[in-house]
Structure 1
């Protein structure tokens, strides 16, 4: 009975993903956390890093469409900080084919995968940089995880690389229609540095990450967005703690939030 219920649940869930070009066998394989390194999206074979997080990203980007925004122009300017394997860029290009996109992905291996995936979709007009956004242009140490969780660290260790950086504030000198920041940790520092320049951004998405061992800066981050004139809407990005009073610091991140900033 449990097997039948599980299969029925998978079939019902698959109906949502079918429109993305996945077959049921492909979906089931991904759902079972296979070690597949390729998949299909809208009829194109692309490279992936992790089947679980790939499905999670498909759901978030192409089914829930968390990055969908409205604009009255054909060529909106988009800055994508933390573009990973390129799915967000593909989403933006399907939404606004002639959009002007600047994207950043510091992990060298994932950057290569991203370029491959964009080529599969014939996307050649995106400025994609193997760099991280930061508060200056000094090199940083980056811990590679092979998937979505790569992040900046203070000291070199196993699986770390030195990465080049770009000061995000320097890119906000003109109107930006959509700014996406999903960079696994330093969101507050970067937004604080951007300050007054955020007035040039129409829509902003920030995935806020709070390391369990560090002070939470969510209050200060929200004040920055408020002072920049944004209204905000917040969703939980991931349930890091089911019982916060009991678990407290047991999670790597003790808080992950999707923050949507928009203007009326």
Structure 2
């Protein structure tokens, strides 16, 4: 291992102790396809696919704690839109043990990891779907990017590659959410469509938005978000790569 990687491995050791040392070593040296992370910060172990984007997601969510935000209340209803492999949902569940969490992810390989990582937490509900502004069907666009960058577009129901899409309002009705305490959204540009229409029914019942906008994938995605927010009273901040929006609902 070169000096740069060794220095980074020591950072993981300082952050997590032996488990940090081991997860970094396994990512870079193991021949196992799935590696495991156990640490006292989390009630149950996490699993990552080696040599994929999973380790980068782990660094953002678990190591850097980009979703460790100030709430001022004990969140009970959380939606993780664009769940990837479920790490944000696991983070929120360990921070807010009484929360009911919906983790939505459309891509099959990622969704299998969502199921694996969230299985010990009965109040995390995995949903294999895309997030859109209505009930419809989507297809994944092969954008030649890592597994955390899948984009989608609308398609016909009889498309053999079609997958279901749900709106945030659909999710609230199906799982009986009276409100959304935290809505984390990282959906690779689809936030543009989500905030174009049919958003008032759920946005008016949302307390905190954590949104990563992707103007490089969907032109004017951020502008569409702020246009939707225009009639709401909110405070704006950032957390890592995310916009952090406190809504005074």
Which TM-score applies when normalising by structure 1?
0.74
Gaps of 5+ in 1: 238-257
Q: Which moved more, 1:95-104 or 1:188-197?
A: 188-197
Aligned with residue 215 of structure 2, among 190, 193, 210: 210
| Runs of at least 4 residues off by over 6 Å | none
Structure 1's 45 and 192: CA in aligned 2 closer, same or farther, altered over 3 A? same
Structure 1's 176 and 126: CA in aligned 2 closer, same or farther, altered over 3 A? same
Q: Deviation of residue 12 (structure 1)? A: 3.7
Q: Which residue of the partner structure matches residue 135 of structure 1?
A: 133
**1:164 pairs with 2:158:** no
Q: Check conservation: 2:133, 2:167, Cα contact below 8 A.
A: yes
C-alpha RMSD of the superposition: 3.1
SS across alignment from 2:196: helix
Structure 1's 34 and 186: CA in aligned 2 closer, same or farther, altered over 3 A? farther
Aligned mates of 2:193, 2:184 — CA distance in 1: 15
Aligned mates of 1:192, 1:65 — CA distance in 2: 30
Structure 1's 63 and 113: CA in aligned 2 closer, same or farther, altered over 3 A? closer
SS across alignment from 2:24: helix
Aligned mates of 1:8, 1:216 — CA distance in 2: 41
Aligned mates of 2:50, 2:6 — CA distance in 1: 24
Q: Equivalent residues in 2 for 1:74-153 (5 A)?
A: 76-119=76-119, 122-143=120-141, 147-153=147-153
SS across alignment from 1:80: strand
Decide which structure has greater helix share. Answer: 1
- Aligned residue-pair number: 233
Aligned with residue 40 of structure 1, among 15, 25, 36: 36
Q: Deviation of residue 64 (structure 1)? A: 2.8
Q: Check conservation: 1:50, 1:147, Cα contact below 8 A.
A: no
Q: Check conservation: 1:76, 1:96, Cα contact below 8 A.
A: yes
